[in-house]
Structure 1
Amino acid sequence: MNGLSSEMQRCIETCLTCYQTCLGMASQHCLEVGGRHVEPEHFRLMLSCAEACQASAQLMLIGSAVHRHQCGACAEICAACARSCEEIGDMEACVAACRACEESCRQMAW
């Protein structure tokens, strides 16, 4: 993409992958499995992670200087989501996507 560094482009892609993974797993996996997968704290965290990732990608795409703050917050939310998904289990794809996004967003923050 024009005007975006390769590091930023990778972060956008990582954020969008995490957004897709968290939202998809929440709706297609957690809701189907039930139990601990739909406990309010975990489920809200997954939705929050998806939204934070989408917001980070959007701010980078439009070239907003505040993307660094959003990426910092996104990294924290991704870390929390990865821990929650790992604790619940059977959510390896989400754990991997969140950890990758956390790392990428930390590099873009501040």
Structure 2
Amino acid sequence: MLTISPDMRGCIEECLRCYQVCLTEASQHCLEAGGKHVEPAHLRLMLACAEACRASAHVMLLGVPEHKHSCAACAALCEACTRSCEQVGEMQECVEACRACAESCRRMAA
């Protein structure tokens, strides 16, 4: 049976939270708000971030050492999504989830 460290469990939880927040914000908030919220580059980044978070959690749950690679990619996408959501505005929940996930994934990638 695979034992997941408390740090990895925390990172998995941050990834799943960010996945949920980004996907929900993109599909519920951004599509409804329109304007800057639905600019293609912003929306694509949010969806890419959500998928990277989901995939990173999945790879960590599998327990392979290559999780470091998915975590590094996830951190980079979360950082980019944070910047985009800050620029668009009215997306504080997404900014906070992405920032926390990026920080946690950077630690897992180290």
Band of TM-score, shorter chain: over 0.9
1:68 CA displacement: 0.3
Give the equivalent residue in structure 2 for 1:36. 36
CA distance in 2, matches of 1:9, 1:70: 15
CA distance in 2, matches of 1:48, 1:66: 20
1:65 CA displacement: 1.6
Identity of aligned residues (%): 63
Name the SS of the counterpart of 2:12 in structure 1: helix
- Structure 2 stretches of 5 or more lacking a match? none
Give the equivalent residue in structure 1 for 2:78. 78
Name the SS of the counterpart of 1:103 in structure 2: helix
1:106 CA displacement: 0.1
Give the equivalent residue in structure 1 for 2:46. 46
- Structure 1 stretches of 5 or more lacking a match? none
TM-score (norm: length of structure 1): 0.97
TM-score (norm: length of structure 2): 0.97
Give the equivalent residue in structure 2 for 1:64. 64
The two structures, once aligned, show a CA RMSD in angstroms of 1.1
User: Number of residues paired by the alignment?
Assistant: 110
- Runs of 4+ in structure 1 deviating by more than 6 angstroms, as ranges, are none
